Amino acid sequence: MMNRGIAWALLAAAARAASTTQPVDLFFAIDAPYYLAMVACAMRAAYERTNASYRFFVLHRHPLTSKQICAASKLALGSHFEGCSTFTHEREETSCEIGKKNLATVNTIELVKSPRVLDEIYRLTELDFKSRKHGDCTNRGDLVNLFNLAPDAIDQFLLPLGVTRAVYLDADAWPDSDFGKFYDAASEKYTAVALARRRKRCVQAGATKWERKMGLSGANWSEGFRQDLPYVYERLGKTLYDLDQRRWRADCFHVPSLKRYCELGVADRVVDALKRQTRGDGSKLWTCGLQQPPLLLALANRTAILRRDDLEIVDPAKGIEACAERNPKISVHSENKNSLRTRAMRREGGDRDAALGALLKRLESGDAEACGARPWREKKGSE
């Protein structure tokens, strides 16, 4: 009779093998051709930098069309492109039912009607932003939009298509060499898997050199959580050390089971946090940030937060670890904000969306560096 431990090991190995043979489903939410230029390059990067196969899901709305997305994807993916399917989302009520659709390499989802819960998240986020005092992170009003908040309701867009597991990526977060390891770090114990906010393994409850220079207060500077309030400290702890081990990046997170995510009611929990934030009685839960703070609270104690140097799960019970020598670099995704910033994509007159046309022309011509650094700006002396 086979030893039970060996049987479990074989089962785990089979599960890992299955995860590498099944396509990885990536979800993007964009509402302008400007962002499609980034996503097209993210699709190409996924195949150039990893050994996995992929299916891409792109939530969009007018003026961005499914025809544009399919055309850009075909040029970016080349031989990896095996078709493009188009869908619409018109359901307003929340449902955890798993549908069944014929999916392709690229799948577009046109937002005709929003889930009510997402509309409520948007309404409360806008209310919170407008109520802030000048200087309390009031310089990013462009991020107060439905598509920046759409990842909170990722289950409502993908479950109807039959997708049960997916990774959300910001448009400028491209899969990198260790993305597969990140994807395989899923666990039945957790609702989401994400990367730790801090880059170093050791926890730094005090401010870093940069934070001190900027007059910021250590781990809490980014969102400014009110850890003196029960609702916050019951989820994120009472000290900066506690908080530092519970903060994660929302630009790339994995949902191993979209059905479990739905049944937990993550979007409803986000609404709950936002309602408390916008009561107007001086008891705000955080002072900065838009999508991340309420999502962090909604998924508190249900997220596997991975250390960024070895992709092991952060364990608060182990206490503060000493800072060691620099470990081998782990790269799950590349942040391309510097090379893809608005100023690098503008044409004469500030038309950012012209960047997509420039990218398509370069891809069509076979330009291997079309998605390199500053891909949308012509080299000096080329005009």
**Whole-angstrom distance, CA of residue 305 vs CA of residue 290:** 20
Domain-located, residue 4 = no
Mean pLDDT for the stretch of residues 253-282: 94
Characterise 86 by phi-psi region: left (phi > 0), alpha (psi -120 to 50), beta (else).
beta
Q: Is 231 exposed, middle or buried (0-12, 13-18, 19+ CB in 10 A)?
A: middle
**Whole-angstrom distance, CA of residue 77 vs CA of residue 105:** 9
b vs e for 107-141, b when ≥16 Cβ sit within 10 Å of the residue's Cβ?
A: bbbbbeebbbbbebbbebbbebbeeeeeeebeeee
Residue type at position 376: W
Q: 352 with 376: CB under 8 angstroms? A: no
Task: Return the CATH number at 91.
Answer: 3.90.550.10
**Whole-angstrom distance, CA of residue 32 vs CA of residue 351:** 12
**Number of neighbours of residue 349 by Cβ within 10 angstroms:** 6
Q: Which tens digit of pLDDT belongs to each residue from 136-182?
A: 676 667 778 999 999 999 999 999 999 999 999 998 888 888 899 99
Q: 95 with 86: CB under 8 angstroms? A: no
Domain-located, residue 45 = yes
Question: Whole domain around residue 297: which residue ranges?
Answer: 10-364
Q: Which residue has the higher pLDDT, 14 or 104?
A: 104
Q: Which tens digit of pLDDT belongs to each residue from 332-359?
A: 877 554 344 343 344 434 566 677 777 7
Per-residue pLDDT for 208 more than 70?
Answer: no
**Number of neighbours of residue 59 by Cβ within 10 angstroms:** 25
**Residue 24, both tokens:** 């990885």
Per-residue pLDDT for 43 more than 50?
Answer: yes
Mean pLDDT comparison of 96-110, 207-221, 316-330, highest-scoring range:
96-110
Per-residue pLDDT for 38 more than 60?
Answer: yes
Q: Which residue has the higher pLDDT, 372 or 226?
A: 226
Least confident of 61-75, 206-220, 244-258: 206-220
Count of domains observed in the chain: 1
Which helix H or strand E contains 175, and what residues bound it?
A: strand 173-175
Distances (CA, A) of 64 to 2, 18, 137, 290: 56, 35, 29, 24
pLDDT of residue 190: 93
User: Which string of DSSP letters, residue by residue, matches 82-103?
Assistant: --EEEEEE---S----------
Domain-located, residue 377 = no
**Whole-angstrom distance, CA of residue 314 vs CA of residue 298:** 18
**Number of neighbours of residue 38 by Cβ within 10 angstroms:** 26
Domain-located, residue 376 = no
Q: Which residue has the higher pLDDT, 37 or 152?
A: 152
Domain-located, residue 371 = no
Domain-located, residue 381 = no
pLDDT of residue 212: 52
pLDDT of residue 338: 37
Question: Using 50, 70 and 90 to split pLDDT, how confident is the model at 121?
Answer: very high
Q: Is 205 exposed, middle or buried (0-12, 13-18, 19+ CB in 10 A)?
A: middle
Per the prediction, the chain carries an average pLDDT of: 80
Question: Using 50, 70 and 90 to split pLDDT, how confident is the model at 218?
Answer: very low
Does a cis peptide bond (omega within 30 degrees of 0) precede residue 63? yes
CA atoms in the 13 A half-sphere facing the CB of 28: 29
Per-residue pLDDT for 12 more than 50?
Answer: no
Handedness of CA 356, 360, 361, 363 (dihedral sign): positive
Per-residue pLDDT for 85 more than 70?
Answer: yes
